[in-house]
């Protein structure tokens, strides 16, 4: 991947680039909790976005996406959001300019093997790779945490998704063989070894993504904020759903709006569930962890309503299989992948069977990705 990108870059821009790799991510448990100041349990994976970059002598950007075989050139003052892949590169560049970082024109080429739109955070990986590359190229002196926050702002401003911090954090800070328990309020994190003992993390990709995903995402976030606002009328010290409990929700939210209550109930339970699931993982109790994943899926599907029939079908089809310890939809929802804990010797047969059922009932091909953990964003040696 790196060699191919380097060769394409040299052919396009006639100079040797600096190359950065930034991975996609999975999340074991703790979904839609990051923007509620809760915890998440992601890991960076062995699927990455690669960015090759070099300086230009002017104030223009030359952008090249190998997998779309598309090049774009624009002036720095013409940077604006669009529906194209380039919006992520423009978005982080725009944030750097707004922060007063001293950058001039650059050429960049990107490539990668993170499946797009599959809920593996290809966009965060792209943003992080570009930021890291620009930070190196122009010696901006930004820390990984600075870059995480800049990438999140870029996603809000240019992609229009009011996302939390999980995806960028996981991409930047991944560590091979580990998941990260991230406290999204304090931003403190702890690495927890991922002991899989005869089991694998397997993704089943629905290969669909509904267009309402980003609107629905922002709407869920608003509903959580509404719930907090009602709680605060009675308990002003509550700043987020992290501070709330079920009895507060019953007293202050249920009578106002049943739907907002259900949304908040899922989040409060999920924050609690993650604490316990993380203890299960530390104790090597994958059975107990897997059971919690099924509960998370039910909450996401019935209370939070961010699943879809294809995701539900993939989870339902593995429930009760003794070789599967847990399964749930992963990420923002409305498409993308389910994450499963499957016994190693059963992965191939089970994914074949599931794909056949899925094809029969939906007409769509399902793909399987066996996930390995990886390190975070890094500069690659020449």
Question: Would you please indicate which residues are annotated as catalytic (active-site) residues?
Answer: 167
Q: Which of 23, 91, 174, 331 binds ligand GLA (CB under 6 A)?
A: 331
Residue 265 to residues 16, 220, 270, 272, Cα–Cα distance (Å)? 53, 12, 8, 11
Q: Is 270 in the site for ligand GLA (CB under 6 A)?
A: no
Here's the x/- map for ligand GLA, 137-176, by CB under 6 A: it reads as: --------------------------xx-xx---------
Binding-site size, ligand GLA (CB under 6 A): 10
- CB contact at 8 A, 369 and 202: yes
Contacts of 85-91 with CB under 8 Å at 24 or more apart are 85/110, 85/126, 87/158, 87/159, 88/123, 88/126, 88/127, 88/130, 88/154, 88/155, 88/158, 88/159, 89/61, 89/63, 89/126, 89/130, 90/61, 90/158, 91/127, 91/154, 91/155, 91/157, 91/158, 91/159
Measured from the CB atom, the residue of 166 and 277 that comes closer to ligand GLA is 166
Q: Is 334 in the site for ligand GLA (CB under 6 A)?
A: no
What angle, 0 to 180 degrees and rounded to 10, lies between the N-to-C axes of helices 166-173 and 122-137?
60
Minimum CB–partner distance for residue 42 and ligand GLA (Å) = 9
Measured from the CB atom, the residue of 163 and 286 that comes closer to ligand GLA is 163
The 3-state DSSP class for residue 140 equals coil
Residue 17 per-residue DSSP state: P
Minimum CB–partner distance for residue 266 and ligand GLA (Å) = 11
Measured from the CB atom, the residue of 299 and 331 that comes closer to ligand GLA is 331
Residue 338 to residues 123, 165, 178, 329, Cα–Cα distance (Å)? 19, 21, 20, 4
Measured from the CB atom, the residue of 29 and 142 that comes closer to ligand GLA is 29
Token readout for 222 is 């608003």
The owner of tokens 């869920």 is: 220
Q: Is 38 in the site for ligand GLA (CB under 6 A)?
A: no
Minimum CB–partner distance for residue 28 and ligand GLA (Å) = 11
Q: Is 35 in the site for ligand GLA (CB under 6 A)?
A: yes
Q: Is 37 in the site for ligand GLA (CB under 6 A)?
A: no
Distance separating alpha carbons of residues 231 and 241, to the nearest angstrom: 9
Here's the x/- map for ligand GLA, 100-139, by CB under 6 A: it reads as: ----------------------------------------
Q: Is 42 in the site for ligand GLA (CB under 6 A)?
A: no
The 3-state DSSP class for residue 359 equals helix
Q: Which of 112, 332, 335, 376 binds ligand GLA (CB under 6 A)?
A: 332
Q: Is 34 in the site for ligand GLA (CB under 6 A)?
A: yes
Minimum CB–partner distance for residue 31 and ligand GLA (Å) = 4
Minimum CB–partner distance for residue 39 and ligand GLA (Å) = 11
Q: Is 262 in the site for ligand GLA (CB under 6 A)?
A: no
Minimum CB–partner distance for residue 88 and ligand GLA (Å) = 13
Identify residues 4-33 at the interface with ligand GLA (CB under 6 A). 31-32
- CB contact at 8 A, 71 and 50: no
Minimum CB–partner distance for residue 167 and ligand GLA (Å) = 5
Q: Is 199 in the site for ligand GLA (CB under 6 A)?
A: no
Instruction: Tell me how crowded residue 303 is: count the other CB atoms within 10 A of its CB.
Output: 18
Residue 76 to residues 44, 80, 102, 222, Cα–Cα distance (Å)? 32, 9, 12, 34
User: What percent of the chain is helix, strand and coil (3-state, nearest 5)?
Assistant: 45, 25, 30
Which spans of this chain sit near ligand GLA (rule: CB under 6 A)? Answer: 31-32, 34-35, 163-164, 166-167, 331-332
């Amino acid at each position: 991947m790196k060699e191919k990108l380097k060769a394409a870059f040299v052919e396009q821009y006639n100079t040797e680039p600096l190359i950065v790799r930034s991975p996609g991510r999975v999340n074991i448990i703790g979904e839609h909790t990051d923007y509620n100041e809760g915890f998440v349990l992601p890991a960076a994976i062995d699927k990455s976005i690669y960015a090759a970059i070099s300086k230009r002598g002017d104030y223009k950007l030359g952008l090249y996406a190998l997998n779309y075989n598309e090049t774009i050139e624009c002036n720095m003052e013409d940077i604006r959001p669009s529906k194209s892949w380039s919006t992520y590169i423009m978005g982080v560049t725009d944030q750097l300019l707004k922060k007063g970082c001293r950058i001039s024109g650059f050429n960049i080429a990107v490539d990668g093997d993170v499946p797009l739109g599959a809920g593996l955070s290809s966009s965060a990986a792209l943003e992080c790779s570009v930021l890291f590359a620009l930070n190196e190229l122009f010696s901006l002196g930004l820390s990984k945490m600075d870059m995480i926050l800049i990438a999140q702002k870029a996603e809000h401003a240019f992609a229009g998704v009011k996302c939390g911090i999980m995806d960028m954090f996981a991409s930047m800070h991944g560590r091979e063989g580990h998941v990260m328990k991230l406290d999204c309020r304090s931003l403190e994190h702890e690495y927890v070894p991922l002991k899989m003992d005869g089991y694998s993390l397997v993704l089943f990709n629905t290969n669909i993504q509904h267009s309402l995903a980003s609107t629905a995402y922002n709407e869920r976030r608003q509903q959580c904020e509404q719930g907090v606002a009602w709680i605060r009328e009675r308990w002003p010290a509550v700043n987020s759903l992290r501070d709330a409990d079920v009895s507060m929700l019953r007293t202050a939210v249920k009578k106002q709006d049943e739907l907002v209550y259900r949304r908040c109930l899922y989040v409060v339970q999920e924050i609690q569930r993650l604490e316990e699931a993380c203890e299960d993982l530390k104790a090597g109790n994958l059975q107990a962890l897997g059971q919690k994943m099924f509960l998370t899926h039910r909450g996401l599907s019935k209370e939070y309503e961010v699943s879809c029939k294809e995701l539900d079908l993939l989870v339902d089809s593995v429930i009760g299989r003794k070789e599967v310890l847990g399964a749930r939809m992963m990420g923002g929802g409305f498409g993308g992948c389910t994450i499963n804990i499957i016994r190693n010797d059963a992965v191939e047969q089970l994914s074949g069977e599931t794909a056949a059922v899925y094809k029969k009932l939906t007409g769509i091909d399902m793909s399987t990705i066996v996930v390995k953990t990886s390190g975070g964003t890094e500069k690659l040696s020449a």
